[in-house]
Each structure stands twice: as structure tokens, then as C-alpha cells.
Amino acid sequence: MNDIEQVMQNALDAFNSYKTLSPAKRAQFLYETAKAIEEARETLVPIAHEESNLPLARLNGELTRTTNQIKMFARLLEEGSWVEAAIDTADKDRTPPKPDTRKMLLPVGPVVVFGASNFPFAFSTAGGDTASALASGSSVVIKGHSAHAKTSEKVFEAMQKAVQRAGVHPFTVQHVLGSGSTVGKALVLHPFTSGVGFTGSFNGGRALWEYANQREQPIPVFAEMSSINPVIFFDGTLQQNAPSLAKTYAASITLGMGQFCTNPGLLIAVQSEALDKFLTHLGKEIEQVLPQKMLHSGIHSSYNKGLNQVLAQKGIEKVGESAQQPGEDEAFPTVAKVKAGIFLENPHFHEEVFGPYSLAVCCTGKEELKKVLKQLKGQLTTTVMATDEDIAANGDIIDLQTNMAGRIILNDVPTGVEVCASMVHGGPYPATTDARFTSVGTTAIKRWVRPVCFQGFKDGMLPEALKNGNPLKIWRIVNNEWTNSAIGQ
């Protein structure tokens, strides 16, 4: 059913019911969702494999990650303190008298989630955006990705089982398929939509953000879009272990045929013998990587277009490419290099080429390296490969990196995103549309809530989280002090 008017009316009706459920009841629904998806594993994984070309082992791991992150949000609800309850009790004796004010986070309303093509489970139908929105108390309308429409429908079927088993409103989660520019646009423009979650291309995310801001009442769009994840190599590290670093980085650049938003697309270093040696090793490692099919033909043709465009630029030199020519819809792993002076002059080198490609930027010295960093746009991640001495001597570079990205990594690869409370999978524009939030980890829930202050309400009228007796036993700030005790005890 793609009658958007009806879908959004259903979503609003569901929201008005679902938001009143206790945190325990919402947690039960999330546990049932994880269980139903787990039960459908044998059906889901082969379908996702057929639709996405991703290996079965990867998809099995991704499904486990998906159900684990749903359960993580259930546990967050059970613990309960995420609502950030703050209470300032009244003081009649103050001049003027101080009122009783109590604040907590409440769900925003129906949320529209656009599934991502590169994670058919973990960032799609029942992925992190959906799980965090459902945890917040918002109802969700999923716009399934056409590249894995069958997988999306089957995951939704499993979610429907959970809806029935937990006895939540039947339209708490809805699923629509169709073109982004018609169905997707109509969902974002609908006045009942209160927030949007998206992972995908810069053009797609930017278009959704523009629709949302054209509305009579603009709404937030949390779009995770484009990032080239610059990695800085200091000379000491390159001198110590160029061959093993090259192996590690070749694996990261080509992991999942480079179809990760945290793919290391830019390798930056000061020109040296150690850098030359590292690049020679990296080229040899890349030669050994076999081309593989990409997620869908659209991604494949945009990779080829982007790669050919960048390789046609003046001053670029190939470092290495797969020794095997690609077949149909297969990506051709490639690493190239360019001098920083040329990089700085040509914006083509700064754009994301989504796939198994990375560009090494060779700088004449530290000042030029800093110029390169200053010219880069916002990123999801940036990495520094350095000794302790390098870090101590290069605080200015680390500072530039910290300003640029949501996550800064020391002596590791950016691919691989831990799902936990401390994770930030976000970053300044164009990595995302709002650098204050993350789409991975428990704090992803903060995208779908707003603070509401209750002033002068009697205890019996307040939400559980704000009552004097603290029946949920959560941590709260009461008269400027953290406590999980009841008020008056």
C-alpha cells in the first residue's frame, strides 16, 4: 500500500498509542523484534545475498549485529536514565517564588527511515535508525531500498510478527517501496512526519534535507552521506612497519569492495623514502585483491564513473590496481597518488569515490600537510598512524583532525564501527546534516526526541520518570545533584 496519506494517518494514530506505553513494554516489543528477525535468519540471509552480492558470512554477521543493536536499545529502555530527567523543586520562600519545573526527553512523532543499500540489515529496514526511533517511542515508516526490496519486505514481515506478539499498535512500523523522488519525497513532505533518518549518497541526503526545509513546518533530517575518511601517516610509523601497514590498509580499502562509509579514501603523508616503500608495498597488496561484484549496478556504474574521472586528472599516478580485470558489475580495486600541490588545486580529488579506491597525497612538509587538512570537508572519521612522540609533537595536526570528524582513530583502520554508548558515527557536513548526533550507538536515540518541561504539575499528573517517588529508579538531576533516590528521602 503506497497511499501516503493513509500511511501517515496510520503512523500518527500508532504514535499516539505507542508513545503512551511504558519503557518496559517498548523494550518487550524490541526484544520480540530481535527474536522474530533471528527466527527468520535462514530465509533472510540467502535473499539478501541474492539481492546485494554480499557474502553469506558477512550477511550472517550483519544480521547478528542488527538484532544485537535492537536488544541494546531494549536494555537502554530498561535502564531508563537516557530520558535525562531533571527536576528543580519549588521554593515558595524565594523572591520571586520559584516554581516546580521538571524536564525529560519525549518522542518527536512519526519518523521516516530510508534504508541504506550497503547494509541490507544493520542500516536498513530494522537497522539502527528504525531501532533507535522505536526505542524513543516514535512510530516508524520505512522507505525500503529498491536494491534489496525483497529482503526489506521479509524483514518487515518479521517485524509484523513482533508487533502482534508484543500487542503494540498495528501501525507502529510500516513499510513502503517505490521511487525515492516520488514516494520518498511525499513521505518527507507529509505534515505528520516529524523526523527523517537516511544513509546513502550526498545527492540523496541533500535532496531529503531540502524537501524537509521547504515544508511549512521544517523538520530535522539526519542524513549520513559522504566521507573520504583521511588517514595521516607519520614517518616514524612508516619506517617501523611499512609492509604490515600496507597489508592492513589494502585490506581496509577493499573490505566489502570498499562499500563502507568509513572506507579510508585518502592517505596523507610527508614525502619520504619510508612513504615510497609503503606505497610500493600497498600497490603490490592491491594487485592481489580480486575484483568482486558491487551492491547494485547503479553503485557499480557510479564507481566506474568516479574512478575514471579522477584517474583522468592531471598529475595522478597509479600506485597499484588488481591484477585481474573485472567482470560484469565487478569493481576494480585501485590506489593512486598525487602531489599535495596538485591535490590542493583540484577539487575532483576531494570527492568520495564509493568503492575499493584510495588516493595517497604526498606533501612536501608539515605545513603543506596542514594545508591539505584545512581544505578537506567534514568527515565521519579521520585516522592518525603515529608513535607517541609523533602525537606529542603534532598537537596542531591532531587538533585539525578533531575539528574535522566525528571519530578520530589512533593506529588502526577506520572500517569497523563498534556499536556502543561511546561511539560517534556522525560528523560535520557533508559527512552528515547534523554533526551533533550519531547514527550508531545508544545516543542515536537522541535524534528522535525533544525536551519538554512540566511546570507546576502535581505528582500524580507527571510522567513516571518525573514523579517524586522515582518508580523507574532512574538516575536524575534533582536540584542540581545526580541521584537515583526518590525525592524527600
Q: Where do contacts with ligand NAP occur on this chain (CB under 6 A)?
A: 114, 116-118, 143, 145-146, 179-181, 184-185, 199-201, 204, 207-208, 224-227, 261, 298-299, 302, 354
Residue 279, C-alpha cell as written in the block: 606505497
Tell the smallest beta-carbon distance from residue 223 to ligand NAP (Å): 9
- 118 vs 193, which CB is nearer to ligand NAP? 118
Calculate the alpha carbon distances from 125 to 25, 33, 142, 216, 430 in Å.
21, 12, 6, 28, 24
Tell the smallest beta-carbon distance from residue 453 to ligand NAP (Å): 35
Could you tell me if 299 and 332 are in contact, meaning their C-beta atoms sit under 8 angstroms apart?
A: no
- 109 vs 204, which CB is nearer to ligand NAP? 204
> Which residue from 230, 483, 258 is spatially nearest to 373, judged by alpha carbons?
230
Tell the smallest beta-carbon distance from residue 373 to ligand NAP (Å): 20
Active site residues: 224, 261
Tell the smallest beta-carbon distance from residue 133 to ligand NAP (Å): 17
Beta pairing, strands 481-483 & 476-478: antiparallel
- 115 vs 283, which CB is nearer to ligand NAP? 115
Q: Using the structure block, give the residue that is written with the C-alpha cell 523494550.
A: 27
> Which residue from 292, 286, 288 is spatially nearest to 250, judged by alpha carbons?
286
Tell the smallest beta-carbon distance from residue 42 to ligand NAP (Å): 26
CA 236, CA 393: separation in Å to the nearest integer?
A: 12
Neighbour-count burial of 27, counting CB atoms closer than 10 A to its CB (0-12 exposed, 13-18 middle, 19+ buried): buried
Sequence letter at residue 48 = A
- 200 vs 320, which CB is nearer to ligand NAP? 200
CA 302, CA 449: separation in Å to the nearest integer?
A: 36
CA 463, CA 105: separation in Å to the nearest integer?
A: 11
Nearest-CB residue for ligand NAP: 180
CA 182, CA 20: separation in Å to the nearest integer?
A: 32
- 104 vs 261, which CB is nearer to ligand NAP? 261
- 70 vs 208, which CB is nearer to ligand NAP? 208
